[in-house]
Chains A and B, each alone.
Chain A
Amino acid sequence: MDFGPYLLLASLEGAVGAAVLALTAVGLSLVFGVMRVVNVAHGEFYMIGAVVAWFVATTVGTHPALGFVAALIVAPLVAAIIAIAADRLVLKRVNYDPEATIVATIGILYIIQQAALMGYGPEARPVEPPFNHRIALPWYDFAAGEWFYPWGLGTTSYKLFVIAVAIVLLLGFWALMTRTKVGLVMRATQLDWDMAQAFGIPVDRVYALVFGFGAALAALAAVLIVPIQQAHYLMGGDPLLLSFIVVIIGGLGSVRGTVVAAILIGMSDGIISVFFTPTLAKIIATMVVALVLVFRPQGLFGTKAA
């Protein structure tokens, strides 16, 4: 394949990754923004989403689409319930102390991951997509002056569907945060904990809600991706790392910065991975994140606070 079609293919793969990453990272960013804690177990809620999707798909089992729709509802719910339980039982009791929360969520990470190993097993299992049509893509041949279909340049209807759903969900999230009372309450709590409490906002319940909501977003992302990748108990590591990268580059707690960074990182991860080895891409990414935190803690897109 020539460079042009190759780049288009890479961009499409990157866009799928970016879409899923944006959802996952927004969940992490929301939790950090409102609660001021870093949830290291975030990737495990993603894994829960994928594993639950597999369970639902195999249980429902009549038509892949039915299982998929059921998973879209059940998986985020399960993740949210587990997250809310973790918030009530652990995070609340350490008073959301930033360092203690990190240590506790590392513990929660291992508990969820190892529980999945016991309940689900060490195998990677595929989930059938609800629909999956191959779509060949045309490319313009400048020399011949005509459109043609290069061999290997194509995508699937499901991949395009993932991108579309992610966009819809992100817009919905944006509307929720800016247009509804729930969103207002969350933003108020983010701005000033004491003030929110003084105005009678049940901060405790908001925190539980936010933590559950963040986990649900990660689980949703996983339900979308699991027909393309496979469900595995260790699959939470990569999305956690990438979400971290995105949230830090985008500016801690800034949802808009997070989305922009997710698209940038997701796309470039997809594109870089096509041209370089994935390991080298990750080395560069982790290094950049560390250096951004050191030299520009407000993120690449954030503005410096006075």
Chain B
Amino acid sequence: MSAAQKSLALHLGLIGGLFALAFILPTYHHGNFARIMVLATYAIGYNVLFGYTGLLSLGHAMFFAAGMYGMGLAMQYGGVPALPALFLGIIAATILAAVVAVLALRTIGVAFMIVTLMFAQTGFLTILYFGEWTRGDEGFVLQQKVRQIAGLDLSDPMTRYLAAWVLFSVALLATARMMHVAFGGVLVAIRENEERTRMLGYNVFAHKFAAVVISGAIAGAAGAAYGLLFGYVGATFASVQYSIFPLLWVLLGGAGTTIGPFIGALFMFYLIDYSSGLTSAYMLIAGVALVLLTLFARAGIAGEIKRRWAPWLP
């Protein structure tokens, strides 16, 4: 099998496996996996920018939240039906990403990290400031009766699982495809050597801009879907913690690999889920994981597998 065939088989295998799990998993894990697939979609979006383009954002929660609030506010106050609201959320995140890209891409490295962090913090505080509509920290619940697309009740566990599965599958296949065509190659080239890439005649800014916008749009789609599927919109999802999570998932799973975001989200979700049963200080796990990954396994799980056993891994 060629590398391209192997990677196609891997992606379809993962998607097929997750579909089969919909009918096998016990209730508790069934619900967890629905969540994990949405969060993994968020991580896939993050990976486009961090893993492939080499731009480390500390503010992706603003895109996740833009999707979530774009959707949620439209439904809550505009009476917009679920499906158009979902798209409004994605559009909101995309526009925000374009604006942030134009400003933040004037900086590089550490400054880029801090600028994105500050913009996200501005976003978080803005949500708190307009607490009258956003309900601030408390957030608001989307009623079950409005969470319907084409007559399907998204609060039903199986429907919800399959909706999350569709979202994840589309994001996975789309980004895998993107990395297979020339555009993805240029993103990697920018990550590896920006100056050389510019001197080969590529418009580096345009590619980075596109990467931020695509990344933000996917994160926004995940945020909108999360709010819609689980019926809750809250400021927590705009906080620094939700900017750190996708970084953590992608680092753990393997930055710059297509399946890394899913692996990372899966492992970290269960690690935190398990430890939060033992202690309220469950974020300790996240801290320890960040330090250990930085020290010993920068490539993450999929990255190590790729290095040791499967160089074809996309």
Binds A, one of B2-10, B19-27, B118-126, B213-221: B118-126
**Taking the complex as formed, is B251 at the interface, i.e. its CB lies under 8 A from any CB of chain A?**
yes
Contact of B288 with A102 in the complex, beta carbons under 8 Å: no
In the complex, identify which listed stretch (B41-49, B102-110, B168-176) lies at the interface while the others stay far away.
B102-110
Q: Please name all residues of chain A whose beta carbon is closer than 8 Å to the beta carbon of B103 when the two chains form the complex.
A: 290-291, 294
The answer to whether B111 has its CB under 8 Å from any CB of chain A is yes
Asked if A153 is at the interface (CB within 8 A of a chain B CB), the reply is no
Once the chains are docked, how many angstroms separate the CA of A130 from the CA of B222? Answer: 52
Give the Cβ gap from A275 to chain B, nearest Cβ, in Å: 15
- B109 touching A283, Cβ below 8 Å: no
Across-interface contacts of B295 in A (CB, < 8 A): 90, 93-94, 104
B107 touches A297 (CB 8 A): yes
Q: How far is the CA of A35 from the CA of B289 in the complex (A)?
A: 24
Interface residues of A in 248-284 (CB under 8 A from B): 248, 277, 279-280, 282-283
- Report Cα–Cα, A282/B124, bound state, in Å: 11
Chain A residues positioned under 8 Å from B121 (CB to CB) = 241, 282, 286
Looking at the assembled complex, report how far the CB atom of A204 sits from the nearest CB atom of chain B, in whole angstroms: 17
Per the bound structure, the CA–CA distance linking A38 and B110 in Å amounts to 8
Stretch at the interface among A3-11, A107-115, A206-214: A107-115
A226 within 8 A of B: no
Pairwise interchain contact A114-B294, C-beta atoms closer than 8 A: no
Residue of B nearest to A112 (CB): B287
Q: How large is the interface on A (under 10, 10 to 19, 20 to 34, 35 or more residues)?
A: 35 or more
In the assembled complex, the Cα of A108 lies from the Cα of B290 at a distance in Å of 8
Please indicate the chain A residues that have their CB under 8 angstroms from the CB of B104 in the complex.
Answer: 290, 294
Tell me the minimal C-beta distance from B136 to chain A in angstroms.
Answer: 9
Distance from B255 Cβ to chain A, minimum over Cβ atoms (Å):
11
Q: Answer whether residue B283 sits at the interface, using C-beta atoms and an 8 A cutoff.
A: yes
Q: Are A104 and B291 in contact (CB under 8 A)?
A: yes
Residues in A whose Cβ lies below 8 Å from that of B293: 103
Q: Does A293 contact B (CB under 8 A)?
A: yes
Chain A residues near B290: list those with CB within 8 A: 103-104, 106-107, 110
Q: Is there contact, CB below 8 Å, between A99 and B288?
A: no
8 Å CB contact of A283 from B107, B125, B294: B125
B193 interfacial by beta-carbon distance below 8 Å:
no
Do residues B122 and A114 form an inter-chain contact, with CB atoms below 8 A? Answer: no
Q: For residue B112, which residue of chain A has the nearest CB?
A: A293
- Verify B283–A110 contact, CB threshold 8 A: yes
- The answer to whether A98 and B109 have CB atoms under 8 Å apart is yes
The minimal Cβ–Cβ distance linking B170 to chain A, given in whole angstroms, is 29
Cβ contact within 8 Å between B283 and A280: no
Q: Does A289 contact B (CB under 8 A)?
A: yes
B129:A279 contact, CB within 8 angstroms: yes
Chain A residue with the shortest CB-CB distance to B251 = A103
Residues of B within 8 A of A113 (CB): 283, 287
Q: Does B284 contact A (CB under 8 A)?
A: yes
Which listed residue, A102, A118, A283, touches B122 by the CB 8 Å rule? A283
Given known contacts A103-B251, A107-B291, A280 and B129 CB-to-CB distance under 8 angstroms: yes
Residues of B within 8 A of A244 (CB): 114, 118
User: With an 8 A cutoff between CB atoms, is A100 at the interface?
Assistant: yes
- The reply to whether B125 and A282 form a contact with Cβ atoms under 8 Å apart is yes
A142 to chain B, nearest CB (A): 37
| Alpha-carbon separation in the docked complex, A286 to B118 (Å) | 5
What chain A residues lie within 8 Å of B283 (beta carbons)?
Answer: 110, 113-114
Do A94 and B107 touch across chains, with their CB atoms under 8 A apart? no
Known: A110-B287, A283-B122. A102 touches B113 (CB 8 A): yes
Cβ of B286 < 8 Å from any Cβ of A?
yes
Contacts of A196-246 to chain B: CB distance below 8 A: 241, 244
State the CA gap A26–B201 with chains docked (Å).
44
Q: Quote the shortest CB–CB distance from B60 to chain A (angstroms).
A: 14
Residues of chain B in range 286-310 having any CB-CB distance to chain A below 8 Å: 286-295, 298
Which listed residue (B110, B125, B279) contacts A118, Cβ 8 A? B279
A69 contacts across to B, CB distance below 8 A: none
Enumerate 18 A-B pairs (CB-CB under 8 Å) in ascending A order. Answer: A99-B56, A102-B58, A106-B290, A107-B288, A108-B291, A110-B287, A111-B288, A113-B287, A114-B283, A114-B287, A115-B284, A117-B281, A118-B281, A279-B129, A287-B119, A287-B122, A294-B107, A297-B107
Q: Give me the interface of A with B, judged by CB distance under 8 Å.
A: 38, 90, 93-94, 98-100, 102-104, 106-115, 117-118, 122, 241, 244, 248, 277, 279-280, 282-283, 286-287, 289-291, 293-295, 297
Contacts from B to A (Cβ < 8 Å):
56, 58, 103-104, 106-107, 109-111, 113-115, 118-119, 121-122, 125-126, 128-129, 244, 247, 251, 279-284, 286-295, 298
With A106-B247, A280-B129 known, 19 other A-B pairs at CB within 8 A are A38-B110, A93-B295, A100-B294, A103-B294, A104-B295, A107-B291, A108-B291, A114-B282, A114-B284, A117-B280, A117-B281, A279-B125, A282-B125, A286-B118, A290-B103, A290-B115, A293-B111, A294-B107, A294-B115
